């Protein structure tokens, strides 16, 4: 088992060199402060980049003994600059699970391989060792050893399907630390979506007002009108010092769909990286306002008790 993030001191101000996210960010990170939500940069053209050329990842890595193939739930950084380092092997922190799950003794395993220009395939597994355990933990944490990667943006497949984009850079933030988590897309429909992530303007987020340190924090996301045919994409959460920015996305369909209704309500999850004790400000692209979040020793992972919603007309 690995710890989620190396402990680093929180900074009082926010400033970041452009393009220093582990995951392909949408626009520049906002400045911290109580008005960070309404003053976000435009995101309308964020998903306009072309999808990567499709590459056959080849046969999947067979599961190790006593393991089954299972998608990781989240992948996070622990580098302090929100990126994968250039040209060296890197243990990418990963996990699976959620607040309602119960694990005890299981381990997560992962194999990574380069499958094309700036494309990498990750095969993840849940392994159950022969032991007795009477505990109950919501996450299984581990890591995925990435091979040395050249600088730039890389597209990651997880167990054969599109999962997220990541950045490889040694650029340092002016002020930090910076950490990021990406929550993988949900199960795909029979019509596989195109990997052209578009920022999705959601209607509500809810999260615990208080959470323990060192544990991923689930954020419940509600979209009252996800367009017919679109699917929930990956969700990127970037923490810069005491500021937490949430960027939900959607994916367009790859085939024609007979729509009965124009849009439908969807629930999804974004995950905030494990945090050190302190006070944080949370905001989501497209929603005005912010939510406070306190990280305290001895607090349990409680239910979502604080919500931010789009104002009613």
303 pLDDT band, cuts 50/70/90, is: low
The percent of residues above 90 in pLDDT, for the chain, comes to 33
How crowded is residue 187: how many other Cβ atoms within 10 Å of its Cβ? 8
Does residue 26 lie in a domain region?
no
Question: Are 235 and 271 spatial neighbours (Cβ–Cβ below 8 Å)?
Answer: yes
Mean pLDDT of 272-282: 92
Does residue 56 lie in a domain region?
no
The percent of residues above 70 in pLDDT, for the chain, comes to 76
Q: 74-83, 90-99, 142-151, 188-197: which range is least confident on average?
A: 188-197
Does residue 260 lie in a domain region?
yes
Provide the pLDDT for residue 186.
Answer: 72
Domain with 148 in it? 67-296
What does the chain look like in DSSP terms, one character per residue?
A: ---SS---PPPSS-B--TT--SB--SSPPPPPSTTTTTTPPP-TTTT-SPPPPP----SPPPPPTTEEE---SEEE--SSBSSBPTTS-EEEEEEEE-TT--BSS-EEEEEEEEEETTEEEEEEEEE--S------BSEEEEEEEEPP--SEEEEEEETTEEEEEEEE-----SB--EEEEEEPP----SSPBPS--EE---SEEEE-SEE-TTS-EEEEEEEEEEETT-EE--EEEEEETTEEEEE-EEE-BSS----SSSEEEEEEEEEEPP--SEEEEEEETT--S-EEEEE-TT-------EEEEPPP-
Average pLDDT, the chain: 78
Closest to 240 (Cα-Cα) out of 301, 197, 179: 179
Closest to 212 (Cα-Cα) out of 297, 119, 306: 297
Does residue 268 lie in a domain region?
yes
The answer, yes or no, to whether residue 200 has pLDDT greater than 60, is: yes
Does residue 43 lie in a domain region?
no
The answer, yes or no, to whether residue 106 has pLDDT greater than 60, is: yes
More confident residue, 62 or 83: 83
Q: Which of 119-123, 185-189, 226-230, 257-261 has the highest mean pLDDT?
A: 119-123
Peptide bond connecting 177 to the previous residue in cis, omega within 30 degrees of 0? yes
Does residue 304 lie in a domain region?
no
Does residue 124 lie in a domain region?
yes
Provide the pLDDT for residue 57.
Answer: 62
Instruction: Indicate the number of domains in the chain.
Output: 1
175 pLDDT band, cuts 50/70/90, is: low
> Which residue's entry shows tokens 């607040």?
99
Does residue 102 lie in a domain region?
yes
Question: Are 243 and 184 spatial neighbours (Cβ–Cβ below 8 Å)?
Answer: no
């Amino acid at each position: 088992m690995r710890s989620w993030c190396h402990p680093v001191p929180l900074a009082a101000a926010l400033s970041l060199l452009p393009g220093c996210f582990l995951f392909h960010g949408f626009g520049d990170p906002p400045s911290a402060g109580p008005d960070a939500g309404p003053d976000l940069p435009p995101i309308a053209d964020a998903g306009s980049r072309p999808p990567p050329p499709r590459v056959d990842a080849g046969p999947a890595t067979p599961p190790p003994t006593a393991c089954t193939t299972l998608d990781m739930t989240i992948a996070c950084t622990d580098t302090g600059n929100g990126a994968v380092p250039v040209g060296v092997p890197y243990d990418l922190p990963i996990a699976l699970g959620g607040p309602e799950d119960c694990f005890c003794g299981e381990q997560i395993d992962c194999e990574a391989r380069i499958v094309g220009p700036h494309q990498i395939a990750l095969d993840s597994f849940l392994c159950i060792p022969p032991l007795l355990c009477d505990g109950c933990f919501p996450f299984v944490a581990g890591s995925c050893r990435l091979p040395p990667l050249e600088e730039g943006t890389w597209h990651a497949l997880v167990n054969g399907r599109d999962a997220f984009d990541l950045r490889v850079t040694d650029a340092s933030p002016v002020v930090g630390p910076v950490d990021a988590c990406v929550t993988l897309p949900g199960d795909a429909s029979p019509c596989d979506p195109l990997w052209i992530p578009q920022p999705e303007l959601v209607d509500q987020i809810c999260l615990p007002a208080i959470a323990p340190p060192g544990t991923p924090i689930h954020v419940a996301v509600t979209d009252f009108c996800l367009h017919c045919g679109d699917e929930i994409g990956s969700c990127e959460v970037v923490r810069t010092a005491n500021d937490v920015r949430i960027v939900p996305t959607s994916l367009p369909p790859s085939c024609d769909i007979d729509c009965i209704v124009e849009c439908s309500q969807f629930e999804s999850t974004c995950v905030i990286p494990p945090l050190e004790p302190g006070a944080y400000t949370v905001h989501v692209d497209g929603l005005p306002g912010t939510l406070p979040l306190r990280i305290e020793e001895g607090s349990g992972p409680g239910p979502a008790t604080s919500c931010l919603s789009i104002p009613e007309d």
